[in-house]
Structure 1
Amino acid sequence: MVLQIDSVWGWASPPLRLQLAGGSRGASGNVAAQASSQRMGEMVVERAPSPARLSHTSEKHPRATLTELNVLRRHRELCDVVLNVGTRKIFAHRVILSACSPYFRAMFTGELAESRQTEVTIRDIDEVAMELLIDFCYTSHIIVEEANVQTLLPAACLLQLAEIQDICCEFLKRQLDPSNCLGIRAFADTHSCRELLRIADKFTQHNFQEVMESEEFLLLPVSQLVDIVSSDELNVRTEEQVFSAVMNWVKYNVTERRQHLAQVLQHVRLPLLSPKFLVGTVGSDLLVRSDDACRDLVDEAKNYLLLPQERPLMQGPRTRPRKPTRRGEVLFAVGGWCSGDAIASVERFDPNTADWKMVAPMSKRRCGVGVAVLNDLLYAVGGHDGQSYLNSIERYDPQTNQWSCDVAPTTSCRTSVGVAVLDGFLYAVGGQDGVQCLNHVERYDPKENKWFKVSPMTTRRLGVAVAVLGGYLYAIGGSDGQSPLNTVERYDPRQNKWSQVSPMSTRRKHLGCAVFNNLIYAVGGRDDCMELSSAERYNPHTNSWSPIVAMTSRRSGVGLAVVNGQLYAVGGFDGTAYLKTIEVYDPEQNQWRLCGCMNYRRLGGGVGLRPPSSASTAETPLTPVTPSTPLTPLSGPYVRK
């Protein structure tokens, strides 16, 4: 008889020949063997012999190979191409350059003359930057600094080294200042760095009152000035500041720029000026008075101010108040699964700087935690700490950077729970308690510090997403404990009743959900087979779901939130790795784009948005918190419930 033993670690043991009692291979021995097999039952597993083997993947091999290839290059051994860049000759291996750079791959594998040359001249590129990039191809290491970034980025663009382009843009993003943001913006535009361009635009809009005082502002071309002053998100106290900025720009070179005054002034919202400023400053300015188109704009503003009863008929771009990005609106990523365990870490995203920073951790580790903001305080509800299911609640105050545990617990332990705020109450919806999937719904009253049960859902749901729209609480997808769901129901607090609405087109559990432009967006999650990148949105007026473009990554356990008018998908699990990447959705282009990373990879973490404080335009500084676990590639179980 043959007994094959397979270890969970991947080792395959050689077949073991077992001699049964009696040692005979005769008839009596066979009978004894059969009887013994019957007695052992399922403990005896007969399998065909398989060869012993050990599978090994070296982590050192790629680095060691690159190191030796670089040694060969330094010694000019086996090099098959010389790059002439400026005054320098750079020896290299075609195969390495082609593997790293699409530019070189096209050059050396196509029909270009360079594919047959041993010396190739590269023009219009800085020689020092080229040497740094070739070094990177062999060493995977590069230093980007103020002295080289302006030559390194164009060189990386030419060679199509996307990773270096991203690093250069990240460096420039961190250097943004009111004195240089316009120059960085122009540099980003020249080299098609869309993310850096977007961040520079946001920075300029938010810091316009300082930017307008800089020399860079006075040197702007008219087209870029129009882009800036026409923005709805321009952060100014009054429209008078915009008019003053425009006039300063014109008068910096009045001979050449007075012809552009009307073109620029039409983007200043003159009807929103005070009557005194409109008549006394704008209307009396000699440049304005000498231009017919400018006088027409002033007359339009006067009519708007003098005829309030006619204003509904006079609405237009110049009568619409600006809506600047609100300082203080901050996204928090809370808990989740990382480094093979539930985590307590918390980090915050500031959309004005596009940076993630660590803040105070929770007192308990929480994966599958429900997160929402009530009265400017961040609540973390339930979850799983890696060993047990939780009913405890923690509350975070961003002003003090402290968590408190004095919130009443829910009546049931809950992980994979949906949490949302409706009419000043905190709702905990569904989840699981370690025994069963739940349809229970509880409502928290912060004034009484008590939870009260309300009408249960019609379906048990764990991994459910919740959203509030039009006075209703929506419970979307999830799993009933057996299979993912596409059904959706909504709660009417006036009737204490749940009712069904149209289902999603895709079954989803552990999905992300948020309200954006009066539509409910549902993204990612997991169906019966795999993690999902697909997304769809619900229109309550038509009671229908429609698909949108899929995310760039599959994401289960993803957080979804709207920050400063943009939809962010945060973290999750793609079926192979836990994610710390962020995507943002552009509804006009119907596309997702990557926009940075958290400090931690997070699966099943919660996200919550703290709105800006009405008392102040600035935040209380938060004490940085150092991550307690290394930010390394992760491994560990992904427990699908």
Structure 2
Amino acid sequence: MDSVQRLVMKSNKCKSKNYENSTHKNRVFEVLQSSRNKNDSFCDIKLQTDDGTIVFGHKSILASATPYFKTMFFSVGESNKDLVKITKLDSTILKLLIDYIYTGEIMIAQENVQFVLVAADRLQLLYVEQVCVEFLQKQLDPSNCLGIKEFADLHNFKKLLSNCEAFIKKQFLEIVKYDEFLSLSSEEVIKLISCNDVNVPFEEKVYECVIKWVKHELNQRKHLLPNLMEHVRLPLVSKEYLVENVVNEPLLKNDPKCKEYVFEALHFQVIKSVNSFSIPKTVWSKPRQVQKIFLISSWSKSEKMYITNWYDPVTNQLQIVPEITYCNQSSILCVVKDEFVFLVCGETRCVGMTDISLQGNYNWVRKPNLLERRSSFRVCVLNDCIYAIGGNTENYDDYYKDFLNTIEVFSLDTQKWKTVSNKYSKSERRKFGVGVLNNLIYTVGGFNGSTYLKSVECYDPSLDKWYPVAEMSIERCNVGVGVLNGIMYVVGGANELGIHKCVEAYSPYNGVWTSIADMNLCRENPGNYNN
């Protein structure tokens, strides 16, 4: 035997190796779980619930699984006991959780999830808490979310509460259709309708749910109406709805405070019809959330009018705004203050404006004309002012020679256009791109009548001065310009070689252009995102 051992020791092929029995742990816990079920002598602790049920276990196992039992068994009063009372905990739920400690498995159902979650929180079984919260989150729907939110709030389950609140704000219009909403207290209704980010595309819906809630138990709730109406943003209700539905509502007509709210809303409509920009921007007159609306504009040659479609991804609704006949295909859209959309037509000098905060009541309103006719010009917005830059004059016989080197600016405050720079650029250029970065206006590339340009210039409105900056690597016109996270991106464009798919990025911090990945498709005059 010794000789064999010596031979093995001398062998270079025999190296140390660690072996693991993958079934060993499970088998040990199966034996321990079996001993619990048989109540045998290996169990050293008995847990007794209020109904007298005894659940057997092993102190070392339970203490290893959760700080709750570790603290209990190592405390002076409980360390030597073999029977511990677990009060205010259902015996079925306790058995389920102790079984989980031994098996690592637990069955969660609609009938027991709330009881299991409360008990798991008490016993500090974090994994069980987590899966219960996930289970409840998947069960959220408009008919039960208010009840689940109340449960989460009562037991201080912060993650579940936060998810419920987000769901309620998003699904508000569906939630108010169910009985859970009608059973809310007035304080809970006020908390909900006073949120700035509750998803209501039209304030009429908030008004309707308040009236519905009050009428559900009219005698007990009608005295609460003034407090509720304080949080309904009546100025945002359409004028037609206000006159047809709100003014004649008996509940409002019979309450002095509610009548005040209605009068203020009517007064707001009068101010708005005179001058949208003079409307006082109080919380009461602002939409509850900034609507993310995409503008899809087009020029109809057959109809000779400018058509704009408005798509709101929050409500998944598409709406056609009334057409504009005084603008043509050379018109440019821009947005001021995330609220006012302007359509600027250089060739007719006409300007139209609509207010997207009116929540569906969109109409184009004529604004003061540009001072000069211009084609192939560009528009940008800086500090809530609109800048119309460069382009050509109306003399199309000399289309490539009559360049405009002026900048006009429109102020919301004065409601007027004025010329701010008589020489907008050291280089004649048209069909250029324009971007705004760090309160400076950049004109990028373009065409000067004979040559495509790669030069870039920067205008500082505060000093009324132009400065040259680094050139792009490729000459091109009709580029798209976008700004994101302090970097300006120039996309696509065209020159004598055709339409391009290249992209360059400009950093104002080092004054350098960097070529980045090409687009998949070549594009001329592409639209770009700006932030």
The answer on whether the counterparts of 2:93 and 2:116 sit within 8 Å (CA) in structure 1 is yes
Counterpart position of 2:66: 101
Distance change (3 Å), C-alpha of 1:244 and 1:55: same
User: Secondary structure of 1:114's match?
Assistant: coil
- In the alignment, residue 166 of structure 1 is paired with which amino acid? Q
The alignment status of 1:76 with 2:76, answered yes or no, reads: no
The alignment status of 1:55 with 2:18, answered yes or no, reads: yes
Q: Give a deviation string over 1:599-620, Cα, whole Å, max 9, x none.
A: xxxxxxxxxxxxxxxxxxxxxx
Structure 1's unaligned 5+ residue stretches are 1-12, 18-50, 329-350, 353-421, 425-453, 457-466, 475-492, 503-641
The answer on whether the counterparts of 1:153 and 1:164 sit within 8 Å (CA) in structure 2 is yes
Q: Give a deviation string over 1:547-598, Cα, whole Å, max 9, x none.
A: xxxxxxxxxxxxxxxxxxxxxxxxxxxxxxxxxxxxxxxxxxxxxxxxxxxx
Equivalences for 1:574-593 in 2 at 5 Å? none
The answer on whether the counterparts of 1:235 and 1:325 sit within 8 Å (CA) in structure 2 is no
User: Secondary structure of 2:79's match?
Assistant: helix
Q: Give a deviation string over 1:529-551, Cα, whole Å, max 9, x none.
A: xxxxxxxxxxxxxxxxxxxxxxx
The answer on whether the counterparts of 2:488 and 2:506 sit within 8 Å (CA) in structure 1 is no
Distance change (3 Å), C-alpha of 1:327 and 1:499: closer
Q: Give a deviation string over 1:449-499, Cα, whole Å, max 9, x none.
A: xxxxx759xxxxxxxxxx92356259xxxxxxxxxxxxxxxxxx9997555
Q: Give a deviation string over 1:351-394, Cα, whole Å, max 9, x none.
A: 99xxxxxxxxxxxxxxxxxxxxxxxxxxxxxxxxxxxxxxxxxx
How much does 1:84 deviate?
A: 1.1
The answer on whether the counterparts of 1:14 and 1:52 sit within 8 Å (CA) in structure 2 is no
Equivalences for 1:40-51 in 2 at 5 Å? none
The answer on whether the counterparts of 1:81 and 1:92 sit within 8 Å (CA) in structure 2 is yes
Please point out which of 485, 489, 510 is paired with 1:469.
485
Please point out which of 153, 169, 174 is paired with 1:189.
153
- Which protein has the larger Cα radius of gyration, Structure 1 or Structure 2? 2
Give the root-mean-square deviation of aligned CA atoms: 3.9
- In the alignment, residue 242 of structure 1 is paired with which amino acid? V
Counterpart position of 2:57: 92
How much does 1:271 deviate?
A: 0.6
The answer on whether the counterparts of 2:48 and 2:54 sit within 8 Å (CA) in structure 1 is yes
User: Secondary structure of 1:472's match?
Assistant: strand
The alignment status of 1:317 with 2:283, answered yes or no, reads: yes
- In the alignment, residue 315 of structure 1 is paired with which amino acid? K
- In the alignment, residue 121 of structure 1 is paired with which amino acid? K
Structure 2's unaligned 5+ residue stretches are 1-7, 295-313, 316-432, 436-471, 475-482, 491-501, 512-531
- In the alignment, residue 31 of structure 2 is paired with which amino acid? E
Equivalences for 1:230-309 in 2 at 5 Å? 230-308=194-272, 309=275
Counterpart position of 2:371: none
What is the distance in 2 between the residues matched to 1:470 and 1:256? Answer: 57
What is the distance in 2 between the residues matched to 1:263 and 1:54? Answer: 76
The answer on whether the counterparts of 1:233 and 1:325 sit within 8 Å (CA) in structure 2 is no
Counterpart position of 1:67: 30
How much does 1:189 deviate?
A: 1.8
The answer on whether the counterparts of 1:182 and 1:204 sit within 8 Å (CA) in structure 2 is yes
- In the alignment, residue 16 of structure 2 is paired with which amino acid? R
What is the distance in 2 between the residues matched to 1:198 and 1:326? Answer: 23
How much does 1:236 deviate?
A: 3.0
Is 151-160 or 55-64 further displaced after alignment? 55-64
- In the alignment, residue 60 of structure 1 is paired with which amino acid? T
The alignment status of 1:134 with 2:150, answered yes or no, reads: no
Distance change (3 Å), C-alpha of 1:206 and 1:497: closer
The alignment status of 1:180 with 2:196, answered yes or no, reads: no
Please point out which of 158, 162, 175 is paired with 2:122.
158
The answer on whether the counterparts of 2:50 and 2:87 sit within 8 Å (CA) in structure 1 is yes
How much does 1:261 deviate?
A: 2.0
Distance change (3 Å), C-alpha of 1:500 and 1:181: same
Please point out which of 132, 136, 139 is paired with 1:168.
132
What is the distance in 2 between the residues matched to 1:189 and 1:74? Answer: 37
The answer on whether the counterparts of 2:488 and 2:507 sit within 8 Å (CA) in structure 1 is no
Q: Percent identity, aligned pairs only?
A: 31
Counterpart position of 2:192: 228
Q: Give a deviation string over 1:193-225, Cα, whole Å, max 9, x none.
A: 223222222322222222111111100122322
What is the distance in 2 between the residues matched to 1:317 and 1:220? Answer: 25
- In the alignment, residue 62 of structure 1 is paired with which amino acid? K
- In the alignment, residue 80 of structure 1 is paired with which amino acid? D
Distance change (3 Å), C-alpha of 1:473 and 1:123: farther
User: Secondary structure of 2:54's match?
Assistant: strand
The answer on whether the counterparts of 1:179 and 1:211 sit within 8 Å (CA) in structure 2 is yes
How much does 1:313 deviate?
A: 5.6
Does 1 or 2 have the higher relative contact order (CA < 8 Å, sep 6+)?
Answer: 1
Is 76-85 or 295-304 further displaced after alignment? 295-304
Equivalences for 1:209-608 in 2 at 5 Å? 209-308=173-272, 309=275, 312=278, 314-323=280-289, 455=473, 468-469=484-485, 472-473=488-489, 497-498=506-507, 500=509
Counterpart position of 2:305: none
The answer on whether the counterparts of 1:206 and 1:325 sit within 8 Å (CA) in structure 2 is no
How many residues align? The count is 311
Q: Give a deviation string over 1:92-144, Cα, whole Å, max 9, x none.
A: 11222222222222222223x33332211112122211110010011000110
Distance change (3 Å), C-alpha of 1:324 and 1:217: farther
Is 211-220 or 286-295 further displaced after alignment? 286-295
- In the alignment, residue 488 of structure 2 is paired with which amino acid? Y
How much does 1:163 deviate?
A: 1.1
Distance change (3 Å), C-alpha of 1:80 and 1:226: same
Q: Give a deviation string over 1:138-160, Cα, whole Å, max 9, x none.
A: 10001101121122111112112
What is the distance in 1 between the residues matched to 2:36 and 2:90? Answer: 21
The answer on whether the counterparts of 1:84 and 1:90 sit within 8 Å (CA) in structure 2 is yes
Equivalences for 1:2-41 in 2 at 5 Å? none
What is the distance in 1 between the residues matched to 2:221 and 2:285? Answer: 26
User: Secondary structure of 1:90's match?
Assistant: strand
The answer on whether the counterparts of 1:114 and 1:120 sit within 8 Å (CA) in structure 2 is yes
Distance change (3 Å), C-alpha of 1:150 and 1:318: same
The answer on whether the counterparts of 1:270 and 1:297 sit within 8 Å (CA) in structure 2 is yes
Q: Give a deviation string over 1:29-86, Cα, whole Å, max 9, x none.
A: xxxxxxxxxxxxxxxxxxxxxx963334554333233222212222223212111113
Counterpart position of 2:166: 202
How much does 1:500 deviate?
A: 3.8
The answer on whether the counterparts of 1:304 and 1:311 sit within 8 Å (CA) in structure 2 is no
Distance change (3 Å), C-alpha of 1:311 and 1:126: farther
What is the distance in 2 between the residues matched to 1:101 and 1:149? Answer: 20
Counterpart position of 1:110: 75
The answer on whether the counterparts of 2:487 and 2:507 sit within 8 Å (CA) in structure 1 is no
What is the distance in 2 between the residues matched to 1:207 and 1:185? Answer: 14
Q: Give a deviation string over 1:327-346, Cα, whole Å, max 9, x none.
A: 99xxxxxxxxxxxxxxxxxx
Distance change (3 Å), C-alpha of 1:134 and 1:496: closer
- In the alignment, residue 70 of structure 2 is paired with which amino acid? R
Counterpart position of 2:304: none
Distance change (3 Å), C-alpha of 1:234 and 1:64: same
The answer on whether the counterparts of 1:455 and 1:496 sit within 8 Å (CA) in structure 2 is no
User: Secondary structure of 1:307's match?
Assistant: helix
What is the distance in 2 between the residues matched to 1:473 and 1:62? Answer: 58
Distance change (3 Å), C-alpha of 1:280 and 1:472: same
User: Secondary structure of 1:53's match?
Assistant: coil
Distance change (3 Å), C-alpha of 1:304 and 1:325: closer
The answer on whether the counterparts of 1:236 and 1:242 sit within 8 Å (CA) in structure 2 is yes
The answer on whether the counterparts of 1:178 and 1:211 sit within 8 Å (CA) in structure 2 is yes
Distance change (3 Å), C-alpha of 1:257 and 1:497: closer
- In the alignment, residue 484 of structure 2 is paired with which amino acid? V
User: Secondary structure of 2:84's match?
Assistant: strand
